[in-house]
Amino acid sequence: MSEPILLTPGPLTTSAQTKAAMLSDWGSWDGAFNALTASVCRDLVEIVDGQAEHVCVPLQGSGTFAVEAAIGTLVPRNAKVLVPDNGSYCKRIVRILGYLGREAVVLPHGEQEPAAPARIDATLKADPSITHVAQVHCETGTGILNPLAEIAAIVARHGRGLIIDAMSSYAAIPIDARTLPFDALIAASGKCLEGVPGMGFVIARRAVLERSGGNSRSLAMDLVDQWQYMQKTGQWRFTPPTHVVAALRAAVDQYRAQGGLPARQARYAENCAALVSGMRALGFKTFLPDALQAPIIVTFHAPRDKAYDFGEFYRRVRDRGFILYPGKLTAVDTFRVGCIGAINADVMRQAVAAVAEVLGEMGVRDRNPA
């Protein structure tokens, strides 16, 4: 049986070329590997046109490792961070702030409500002690896209620092560092670049990074120390994820050859459209209206039919070659389907057909929301 298609927000289905890049072993201190790392970091900065003022600091681990490292390094210990909260990954940032001993101000939103620039503006006006805003661009818990450009302009106007969790938007939804001011943008290898998981990275404003020494309470997560060591030696401080970096090099090469961000965004939009139209034809309801939906991952209401059970539904769809994702909401029963990875709209239509077969087998007739 061929391996299943991952309809998840990462890890995701990768190309044969990306997989093949992991068949070679690399010496972590070898000049060839150091050159590989440098080339990847250079290209990651270029994707957001950040060459003039920003640098890329890679870090071993998942995207959350990089989020924690960015906050722990770039946000001073006595700082105060505003977190517009409309989903689970916003809440994770609040938890990270708590672990790091940074003060958080939570600005609650509904899970179907994009972060409101006017409310952020009012909060920053009312509390001059807030030093930073930590904003999730695409909230993967629901698939909602927050209005990043408007928020960044407001934060800059107030003279505060902006930390962007762009985990599920980087390389697929435009972000231009020349016009959108930020202190740090955080993403990872196993998302829209279609690499494999294992490396996070922070694209940081060089001037902010240079003055952030001594902020981190962790050696392993200290981005200043990592960056300075790399600048001096070309090497990672500690054992790097060599195969992950090699796979990412191959993935970025394919990204550029396929047309870069416009082509990646267009393919994901086609995937999303095929998925949503097909699932709606089966009677499913999306959690978000189309106007708020990013083409990354779609949340669907679970059917209210008593014959529906997510575990059984998941297993049967997986048997047909497609891996779905459970819901992330606490108050509503949902499941999620990713639109990213080395897949196209035909694959999405095949997945919808598999879902239709499974619903028939299970006897799920009422697909209205639970």
Output the six-digit token pair for 51.
Answer: 């060459």
Q: Are residues 118 and 148 in contact, defined by beta-carbon separation less than 8 angstroms?
A: no
Q: Please give the Cα distance from 102 to 311 (Å, whole number).
A: 39
* DSSP for residue 214: T
Q: Please give the Cα distance from 107 to 100 (Å, whole number).
A: 19
Based on the number of CB atoms within 10 Å of its own CB, is 70 exposed (0-12), middle (13-18) or buried (19 or more)?
Answer: buried
Q: Please give the Cα distance from 8 to 273 (Å, whole number).
A: 16
Q: What is the pLDDT of residues 156-170, one digit of tens each?
A: 999 999 999 999 999
Percentage helix, strand, coil for the chain under 3-state DSSP, each rounded to 5: 40, 20, 40
Q: Please give the Cα distance from 39 to 35 (Å, whole number).
A: 6
**Regions of the chain where pLDDT drops below 70:** 1, 330
For the chain, the structural domain boundaries read 16-257, 260-362
Q: Are residues 108 and 98 in contact, defined by beta-carbon separation less than 8 angstroms?
A: no
Query: What's the confidence (pLDDT) of residue 82?
Result: 98
The CATH fold assigned to 260-362 is Aspartate Aminotransferase, domain 1 (3.90.1150)
Alpha-carbon 201 to chain mean position: 11
Instruction: Please indicate whether the domains covering 16-257 and 260-362 agree at the CATH topology level.
Output: no
Query: What's the confidence (pLDDT) of residue 1?
Result: 47
Query: What's the confidence (pLDDT) of residue 152?
Result: 98
What is the pTM assigned to this prediction?
A: 0.96
* Cα dihedral value 304, 305, 308, 309, nearest 10: 50
Query: What's the confidence (pLDDT) of residue 330?
Result: 66
Q: Please give the Cα distance from 184 to 12 (Å, whole number).
A: 25
Cα-flanking dihedrals φ and ψ of residue 10, to 5°? 120, 130
Cβ count near 226 (within 10 Å): 23
Based on the number of CB atoms within 10 Å of its own CB, is 141 exposed (0-12), middle (13-18) or buried (19 or more)?
Answer: buried
Nearest CA to 184 out of 24, 50, 22 is that of: 50
Q: Please give the Cα distance from 286 to 302 (Å, whole number).
A: 10
Q: Helix or strand or coil: residue 268? A: helix
Correct CATH for 16-257 of 3.40.630.30, 1.25.40.10, 3.40.640.10, 2.30.60.10: 3.40.640.10
Q: What is the pLDDT of residues 322-355, one digit of tens each?
A: 999 998 776 789 999 999 999 999 999 999 999 9
